[in-house]
Structure 1
Amino acid sequence: MRAKQSWRMTAACTALVLGLTACGGGDDDLDEGEGSSEMPAGAAGGTYSAELTEPTFLAPASNCYESECSAVLDLINDPLVSTDFESGELIYDGLAEEVSSNEDQTVWTITLKEGRTFHNGEPIDAESFARAWNFSQNPKNAQATAGFMSRIEGAGEGPEAAGIKVVDEQTLEVTLKSPFSQFGQMLSYAPAFAPIAQECFDDVDACNEQPIGTGAYQMTQPWAHDQQVTVERWADYEGEQPAMADSVDFKMFTTPTAAYRDFQNGGLDVLSLAPEVYLQAKGTLGDAIIEKPTASLTYLGFPVGAAPYDNKKVRQAISMAIDRQLIVEQVLNGLAYPSTDIVTPPIPGSRDDACEYCQFDPERAKQLLKESGVDPEGMTLQYYFNAGAGHDAWVEAAARQVQETLGFDYELNSTEWAQYLELLDGGDFEGPFRLGWSLDYPSPENYIRPIVGTGGDSNYTGYSNPELDALVAAADAAPSLEEAIELYQQAGDLALEDMPIIPMWSGGTAIAHSEEIGNVRFDVGEGEIAYGEITVQQ
């Protein structure tokens, strides 16, 4: 699983479970800076409350691979770098002064800003990063984000990876196993690459209860499990992402309905709206709800080694038999954006015309099925999805459309999320399966390699295309970001032609907030509300 609900594979409906990882709405503007509720400049101070589900971990940061913990950690930790979503270039608004590589993209040098400290006064230096990254890559520590370290030379082989080298107090050198042009962008996934204070390293359990961070907010009191996490402005912060509010109270609820009731009663200032309450909230709040696209993807995958899915024309036909826009409008309340690519907006390199077979075209779908030589008579397609996350209605709608256009009967199969992952891991499925994906870092590589690359982390289809893999490897070694994106797009084109997965839609989020706060914005890069920017009406 992963991330934001920072999750790689998302259990939540990528267009219904708003506030988990997925759902979308609002206008078609994909500018991550739009859709905010503004207040006059300089309105700083005060306290506000936000909704949160109980996190799994808060420390070490390398064990955070979900939205619940990242909501807190993104306030109490600064990232190394951020990424500009339009250009893909690095933004040095965090702990790094510069990130550079050698000509073949295998050796990366990270220069840290001077004078920065942890909340406890320890210096943020190269050693603090090496300490954290070696802890994460060490298999015995079983860290949730250890996969980010797997590209580093010697990672996964022992307590210290040979590719992590402290050059001097402010300089870290990282040697990769092979060229990777997107390593700088990968560093923007803050939890995986956060440093760790020696005090935390010495007592990880204590630090989990009250983490020691590097950001504009700090935890001055322990985590009140299942109740609340409070962060307060750190007076000694010297970074470039200052706190706006004096403090933030993250309140925990057992259900989305309970959270919304608390919001209605004035006890909560901001929350992401779940499907159970979205329509009610929309009827009451109207345009005051902030609806913005996210970078999440919902798709249907095929077991490409099994008939009839071993025929790409069948896969193409099924895709073209599905009216994504109709499902979005009538089943998902308009809270999604029909897919045009595997890479979702606003990721650099995403395209609005890449997917020829994502168009609804019943006549062409029938023609493709005829060309495949497959007779649907008496054939029942098995559809799979995880239960309890809002997928039932849209999966059935898609299956019914395929039936009406192509003649395949269908059956629906659902299990709880944990069992569903076991089913996918074991290959125990006989037809199209639903999955969601949310970005770790803004690069096309973060979609192409895991989902359709040979042996990818979330490639459950069995699809393997050496030409695609070669293009991804070439993009990894490209001398410029522009050349890398072009090569990743070529790899994506191969997958969109072969259709091992059907891109369905990208998601969005819907946010409600009280009149007491402003500057509320969804940060598509973090996959969550930009809590640090929220101001309180004084």
Structure 2
Amino acid sequence: MRTKRVMSAIAVAAIAGLVVSACGSGGDDAGSGSQELNLGLGEPKNLVPPNVGESEGGEVTRLVYSGLYTYNNDGSLKPVIAEGQPTSTDNKVWTIKLKSGWTFQNGEAIDANTFKKAWDYTVYGPNANSGSYFFNKITGFADTQSGADPDGDGPQKGAEPKAKELSGVKVVDPTTIQITLDTPWVVFPALLGYTAFYPTADACRAQIEACNEAPIGNGPFKFVGKWEHKTSIKLEKWSDYKGEQPSYQKLNFTIFTGSNNSQWAPFEAGSLDIAAPTPDKYESAKQKYGDRMIEADSPSTWSLGFPSYDNIYKDPKVRQAFSLAVDRQGIIDAIFTGRGKPLATFIPTMIPGYTEGTCATYCKTDPAAAKALLDSSTWPKGKKVELWINSGGTGEKILKAIGDQLAKNLGVEYEMKNIEWNDFLQKKQDHKLTGPFFTGWQPDYADSENYMGPLYYSGAKDGSDNDFGYYNADFQKLMDEGNAAPTIAEAHAKYTAAEKILTETLPVAPLYTGRTSTVIGDKIDFKSVDRNPILGGIDFVKIKLK
């Protein structure tokens, strides 16, 4: 199972618990014989596939929808609606065969044309879908984008696009799709399991706001009623699903927001079924639950992001100084009792394309060098640092610890800016944060490119996850060369060279990766729990209840 993504600071407990958002239970007698699984969740930003770009929305969407592929535990593609793997002779033209007989939960049939219509809707500029950039290497993408925006209010207000359809997507027959890229890209098939490529029903696109509140999916679960914002999302098994069926009937998400986000107490009280203990409860949880705690290295990365679009943070020396002033191991020891790994790269160790020690120069603690760099930079003397975070969760403690270290090692004062998750996301995307911010990333697919391309390619507000306003021509050239490489090995060599530019210019200061500690409640058959070791997360469809 995979989830994208930009992660909330509420999910930072994942370093001591469950990756992403699915959390939740067990009191010792949490409902034997129940046909309901109860989980915790942060408030999603969106539930329509082309607009799902963060951990909470992704958790729900991948249960309600199914795409061409999902991901195996090694990160490789696992066919769902697709019949076999994508094929190509040149890495430029890709052909995908589909299975027959799939439908949406409203009865609409799913065939090759369904995917084309969904993807055309996703990329059409006036629709302003945040996931459209995942199609940007498909021929004709540029023609579907809105023109210049004279008012500066976003692409949806610009000139009409030249085209409404992707010319690079062809329906060969009802069970065959052909995708043509502008240039060869050996990594492209890995994207096809991501939520932006999920199909959407005609009825959903016709009333997109209503579909966001009560999705018309095609996955193993369907909505019961509507999304009760900041309260709950209730799902039930869809008996007509053509893929793997869950063995239980209902899946309930309780939504936690703001400072009221700890799911450990509800777990211990028996109202949730899987949970990540908070760092201060880790030792007692390990003793109490023993073998029912799953511990594993996490593919998520956590960093201090810099608003490179702000004149104050454009100087790389400022970013380098801040990075050298942070004691990564000290934060891990103090907040996570040593359970985590300082990042000296932009890529976690388990991800294909990882190269050791690429950020050895600036991803360490050196207060003297940090102070010297800041003094020689354009940093205004006496300026107070504004540190941004979404309210609630362990992330607040981490950012405060960073602020204390900046004050101690650089002699700068700081102020915390705490806002709700959706507001925080919007300000990040709109480039309106006025100082460094705590940011996390969970991969969409298992390749080093995914930790760089979506995040740092192009400094424009183009719908990508480049929330930093970062732009470097040499970095982009190397990424382009990697994308065009004929083999994965050659692509990774170029991506590593691109990563080394990031480690010098630091759009973010890499901080750490975590070690997850997830407790499975007694209501669940422990042998049925399947966690993806590369992309993180538990496969809730496979879970069996006692």
TM-score band w.r.t. shorter chain: 0.7 to 0.9
Is 2:181 aligned against 1:176?
yes
**Per-residue deviation, residues 441-465 of structure 1 (Å, max 9, x unmatched):** 3232222123333326444555432
Deviates more, 1:151-160 or 1:374-383: 374-383
- Quote the offset at 1:324 in angstroms: 0.7
Identify the residue that residue 245 of structure 2 maps to in structure 1: 243
Q: How does 1:293-332 map to 2 (within 5 A)?
A: 293-302=297-306, 312=316, 315-332=319-336
Identify the residue that residue 514 of structure 1 maps to in structure 2: 521
Contact 2:320 2:370 (8 Å CA) reproduced: yes
Measure, in 1, the Cα distance between the counterparts of 2:314 and 2:41: 43
How large is the RMSD of aligned CA atoms in angstroms? 3.9
Measure, in 2, the Cα distance between the counterparts of 1:164 and 1:149: 10
1:149 counterpart (111, 132, 135): 135
Q: How does 1:91-490 map to 2 (within 5 A)?
A: 91-103=78-90, 105-119=91-105, 122-152=108-138, 153=140, 154-156=143-145, 157=161, 158-189=163-194, 191-198=195-202, 200-201=204-205, 211-215=215-219, 217-219=220-222, 221-223=224-226, 225=228, 226-232=231-237, 234=239, 236-239=240-243, 242-254=244-256, 260-273=264-277, 281=285, 284-285=288-289, 288-302=292-306, 312=316, 315-334=319-338, 336-357=340-361, 360-362=364-366, 366-367=368-369, 370=372, 374=376, 379-380=382-383, 382-389=385-392, 390-405=394-409, 407-417=410-420, 420=424, 432-455=436-459, 457-459=464-466, 461-490=468-497
Q: Structure 1-normalised TM-score?
A: 0.79
Measure, in 1, the Cα distance between the counterparts of 2:223 and 2:424: 39
Is 2:59 aligned against 1:71?
yes
Contact 2:382 2:412 (8 Å CA) reproduced: yes
- Quote the offset at 1:496 in angstroms: 0.8
Identify the residue that residue 30 of structure 2 maps to in structure 1: none
**Per-residue deviation, residues 258-286 of structure 1 (Å, max 9, x unmatched):** 85454334343224456697677557545
Aligned length: 502
Measure, in 2, the Cα distance between the counterparts of 1:371 and 1:203: 54
Measure, in 1, the Cα distance between the counterparts of 2:339 and 2:181: 40
Q: How does 1:17-36 map to 2 (within 5 A)?
A: 18=13, 23-25=14-16
**Long gaps (5+) in structure 1:** 31-36, 38-43
Residue identity in the other structure for 1:175: T
- Quote the offset at 1:49 in angstroms: 2.8
Deviates more, 1:457-466 or 1:445-454: 457-466
Identify the residue that residue 33 of structure 1 maps to in structure 2: none
Is 2:503 aligned against 1:496?
yes
Structure 1 residues 249 and 218: CA distance shift in structure 2, 3 A: closer
- Quote the offset at 1:432 in angstroms: 3.8
Measure, in 2, the Cα distance between the counterparts of 1:207 and 1:73: 12
Measure, in 1, the Cα distance between the counterparts of 2:318 and 2:68: 45
**Long gaps (5+) in structure 2:** 20-25, 27-32, 146-160
**Per-residue deviation, residues 266-318 of structure 1 (Å, max 9, x unmatched):** 34322445669767755754563334343322222345688986665564454
Contact 1:381 1:410 (8 Å CA) reproduced: yes
Measure, in 2, the Cα distance between the counterparts of 1:81 and 1:194: 9
Residue identity in the other structure for 2:324: M
**Per-residue deviation, residues 495-532 of structure 1 (Å, max 9, x unmatched):** 11333421011245443332121233443666533211
Contact 2:16 2:277 (8 Å CA) reproduced: no
Deviates more, 1:371-380 or 1:326-335: 371-380
Instruction: Tell me the percent identity.
Output: 28
Structure 1 residues 262 and 94: CA distance shift in structure 2, 3 A: same
Residue identity in the other structure for 1:149: F
Structure 1 residues 486 and 385: CA distance shift in structure 2, 3 A: same
Contact 2:16 2:279 (8 Å CA) reproduced: no
Measure, in 2, the Cα distance between the counterparts of 1:455 and 1:464: 5
Contact 1:520 1:533 (8 Å CA) reproduced: yes
SS at match of 2:541: helix
**Per-residue deviation, residues 214-242 of structure 1 (Å, max 9, x unmatched):** 44x242743463444122152x5443xx2
SS at match of 1:222: coil
Identify the residue that residue 542 of structure 2 maps to in structure 1: 533
Measure, in 2, the Cα distance between the counterparts of 1:253 and 1:507: 24
Residue identity in the other structure for 1:80: L
Identify the residue that residue 50 of structure 1 maps to in structure 2: 39
Contact 2:8 2:440 (8 Å CA) reproduced: yes
Measure, in 2, the Cα distance between the counterparts of 1:223 and 1:203: 14
Measure, in 1, the Cα distance between the counterparts of 2:500 and 2:223: 50
Measure, in 2, the Cα distance between the counterparts of 1:96 and 1:328: 45
Contact 1:314 1:369 (8 Å CA) reproduced: no
Measure, in 1, the Cα distance between the counterparts of 2:507 and 2:215: 42
Structure 1 residues 526 and 120: CA distance shift in structure 2, 3 A: farther
Contact 2:114 2:201 (8 Å CA) reproduced: yes
Structure 1 residues 469 and 198: CA distance shift in structure 2, 3 A: closer
Deviates more, 1:467-476 or 1:350-359: 350-359
Measure, in 2, the Cα distance between the counterparts of 1:368 and 1:257: 35
- Quote the offset at 1:387 in angstroms: 4.7
Contact 1:323 1:401 (8 Å CA) reproduced: yes
Structure 1 residues 55 and 248: CA distance shift in structure 2, 3 A: farther
Contact 2:267 2:273 (8 Å CA) reproduced: yes
Contact 1:13 1:391 (8 Å CA) reproduced: yes
- Quote the offset at 1:437 in angstroms: 2.5
**Per-residue deviation, residues 27-82 of structure 1 (Å, max 9, x unmatched):** 9xx9xxxxxx9xxxxxx995433334555554x43343343443333234333224
Deviates more, 1:491-500 or 1:114-123: 114-123
Deviates more, 1:143-152 or 1:420-429: 420-429
- Quote the offset at 1:377 in angstroms: 12
Contact 1:380 1:408 (8 Å CA) reproduced: no
Measure, in 1, the Cα distance between the counterparts of 2:132 and 2:380: 48
SS at match of 1:295: strand
Q: Structure 2-normalised TM-score?
A: 0.78
Residue identity in the other structure for 2:135: M
Contact 1:301 1:433 (8 Å CA) reproduced: yes
Contact 1:129 1:194 (8 Å CA) reproduced: yes
Measure, in 2, the Cα distance between the counterparts of 1:317 and 1:14: 27
SS at match of 2:438: strand
- Quote the offset at 1:127 in angstroms: 0.9
Contact 1:332 1:394 (8 Å CA) reproduced: no
Identify the residue that residue 9 of structure 2 maps to in structure 1: 12
SS at match of 1:486: helix
